[in-house]
Amino acid sequence: MSQSSSLAAALALFVRFGLAVNNGLARTPQMGWDNWNSFGCDVSEELLQASAKLIVDYGLKDLGYQYVILDDCWSNGRDDNGTLVPDYTKFPNGMAAVADDIHDLGLKFGMYSSAGVYTCGQYAGSLGYEEIDAQTWASWGVDYLKYDNCYNSGQAGTQQISHDRYNVMAKALNDTGRPILYSLCNWGEDYPWNWGSTIANSWRISGDVTDYYDKPDDRCPCDGPDAWDCGLPGWHCSLLNIINKASFITSKGIKGAWNDLDMLEVGNGGMTDPEYLTQFSVWSAVKSPLILGNDLRIVQPQDLAIISNAAIIAVNQDPLGSSASRRWFYETDDIDEYGKGSYQVWSGALYSTTGGDYYDVLAVFVNGNNSPLTMNATLLELFADLGSTSAEAYAALSWEVNDLWGNRMSNEEAQAIIDAASGNYTGAAWNGTSTDRYNATAKSYAQGLAEADPLLLGTKTTTVAPSGTVVAEVDRHGVAVFRLRAIPTEAARKREL
């Protein structure tokens, strides 16, 4: 074999068995909906059909929510050949029919299993059945696998052991020839952020999120400053607990392979509006998958407005794929019912919408205090670690400050969209062409950012002078999110003329 043809053969092998980050999927974090957070095991064909249709009718598909994911409790054992059998009471027409319905709406279909003998709900797991299960899912038209960690027969305890167990399914999925996004759900056990990117498109970094902002729970160990060394991260984790855990591993996500902070709780009723804004904002800033977890059939307008904010989603789907990082964190005495008080600031590089030499910069102020707080951060603090250009060079410019929640959809507009979807509305609701709502199907986020589309830039609040300070008024348990855009200096302006 000539040198070039053996190189080509090696390359072909690499592409076939290579990194999941090279399977072409999740170049930006995946977006979608999963039934688990609001329905648990109560799954059915009708639920998936209804939810998929609402994703389209609410304009969520056109914001990028693409995957409809069926979680645990869908099967009824294996047949004599070892093939998984759907529960025909819940899915009378089988899974391929569900996949067809979802595909007909222009969406993609995700399913769930466990790298164990059983799933967490004690249905048949896929350990030892990886190839046959991957082939079955591919034959049904499945586009996404969420792969859990229950009943793993003790095959955990070191990074290598967990990696090897999950790698069997990675290879089986690749062997189907069908692009199937591979989402690891081993709750952060054995530090998957260190090895997940070699085999998968995302990995959960913690135990299951709960619908609480900062409620401690013995079942979710490792919090605050100690959260970094947590080989067994538990479950029943609060929002701030997961944010703390994420803060130590933000550098691990890359295009095609992301830290997964777990599904969204927005709309599930346990948290306040500012708390839900915090989840949606930080999840976006950290480039976590954005997987909705609410009952779309009863969505409230204020929650639809949160999950529809294209200016925030554009941060999540940013072409740089670079997670924001925490710059500082303070615990305080302004404690709430759970004895917690804190505040923190995150920042990171975003695609340059000014077309200049400087990235746009994301600034996220998180107020975990029990009362509203005026927070501030200097440009120098915010501009740490942005790339090869120094923080000092960045801070020497003036910066336009854009509030990314500034043009949040009004409750009236959101209600109109909800009414239209349920057939109650007589006015002009979402039809895919509204001029004040972003349509990512028509124009990708990358394109919109390149054009500095105003729908992705929030509202301009102020300008900060060189070496200045960004100030934010932040609600109790709330968040302020700004996109800073460089204002060219006089010298640069003259050069352009």
Minimum CB–partner distance for residue 194 and ligand GAL (Å)? 20
Residues sharing a CB contact under 8 Å with residue 492, sequence separation 6 or more, in sequence order: 356
Chain positions 168 to 187 lying near ligand GAL, rule: CB under 6 A, are 185, 187
Minimum CB–partner distance for residue 234 and ligand GAL (Å)? 11
Which of 57, 71, 133, 208 is catalytic? The answer is 208
Chain positions 262 to 301 lying near ligand GAL, rule: CB under 6 A, are none
Distance of alpha carbon 266 from alpha carbon 307, whole angstroms: 8
Q: Which stretch binds ligand GAL (CB under 6 A): 116-124, 246-254, 411-419, 464-472?
A: 116-124
Q: b/e per residue, 434-460, with b = 16+ CB within 10 A?
A: beebbbbeebebbebbeeebebbbbee
Chain positions 409 to 428 lying near ligand GAL, rule: CB under 6 A, are none
Q: Residue with structure tokens 């070699």?
A: 198
The strand pair at 459-464 and 398-403 is best described as antiparallel
Minimum CB–partner distance for residue 165 and ligand GAL (Å)? 15
Q: Which stretch binds ligand GAL (CB under 6 A): 12-20, 91-99, 118-126, 394-402?
A: 118-126
Chain positions 340 to 369 lying near ligand GAL, rule: CB under 6 A, are none
| Of 438, 316, 347, 458, residue with least CA distance to 29 | 316
Q: Is 148 a catalytic residue?
A: yes
Q: Is residue 120 near ligand GAL by the rule CB under 6 A?
A: yes
Distance of alpha carbon 90 from alpha carbon 176, whole angstroms: 26
Minimum CB–partner distance for residue 146 and ligand GAL (Å)? 6
Q: Is residue 129 near ligand GAL by the rule CB under 6 A?
A: no
Rounded (to 5) percent helix, strand, coil in the chain: 35, 20, 45
Q: Is 208 a catalytic residue?
A: yes
Q: Which stretch binds ligand GAL (CB under 6 A): 117-125, 174-182, 249-257, 445-453?
A: 117-125
Q: Is residue 72 near ligand GAL by the rule CB under 6 A?
A: yes
Chain positions 140 to 169 lying near ligand GAL, rule: CB under 6 A, are 148, 150
Chain positions 30 to 59 lying near ligand GAL, rule: CB under 6 A, are 36
Residue among 181 and 311 whose Cβ is closer to ligand GAL: 181
Q: Is residue 212 near ligand GAL by the rule CB under 6 A?
A: no
Q: Is residue 121 near ligand GAL by the rule CB under 6 A?
A: yes
Distance of alpha carbon 243 from alpha carbon 206, whole angstroms: 10
Minimum CB–partner distance for residue 121 and ligand GAL (Å)? 5
Contact of 59 with 435, CB cutoff 8 Å: no
Q: Work out which of 62, 71, 130, 413 binds ligand GAL, going by CB under 6 A.
A: 71
Contact of 221 with 256, CB cutoff 8 Å: no
H or E stretch including 426?
none
Q: Which stretch binds ligand GAL (CB under 6 A): 3-11, 86-94, 112-120, 411-419?
A: 112-120
Residues near ligand GAL (CB under 6 A), total: 12
Which of 34, 57, 143, 148 is catalytic? The answer is 148
Binding flags for ligand GAL, 4-33, as an x/- string (CB under 6 A):
------------------------------
Q: 90-99: long-range contacts at Cβ-Cβ below 8 A with a sequence spacing of 24 or more? A: 90/43, 90/44, 90/45, 91/44, 91/45, 92/45, 93/45, 94/140, 95/140, 95/142, 96/139, 96/140, 96/141, 97/45, 98/45, 98/48, 98/49, 98/70, 99/140, 99/141, 99/142
Minimum CB–partner distance for residue 212 and ligand GAL (Å)? 16
H or E stretch including 172?
helix 159-176
Residues sharing a CB contact under 8 Å with residue 142, sequence separation 6 or more, in sequence order: 95, 99, 109, 110, 111, 178, 180
Q: 8-17: long-range contacts at Cβ-Cβ below 8 A with a sequence spacing of 24 or more? A: 16/174, 17/171, 17/174
Q: Which stretch binds ligand GAL (CB under 6 A): 55-63, 115-123, 136-144, 435-443?
A: 115-123
Name the residues annotated as catalytic.
Answer: 148, 208
Q: Could you list the residues that contact ligand GAL (CB under 6 A)?
A: 36, 71-72, 112, 119-121, 148, 150, 185, 187, 208
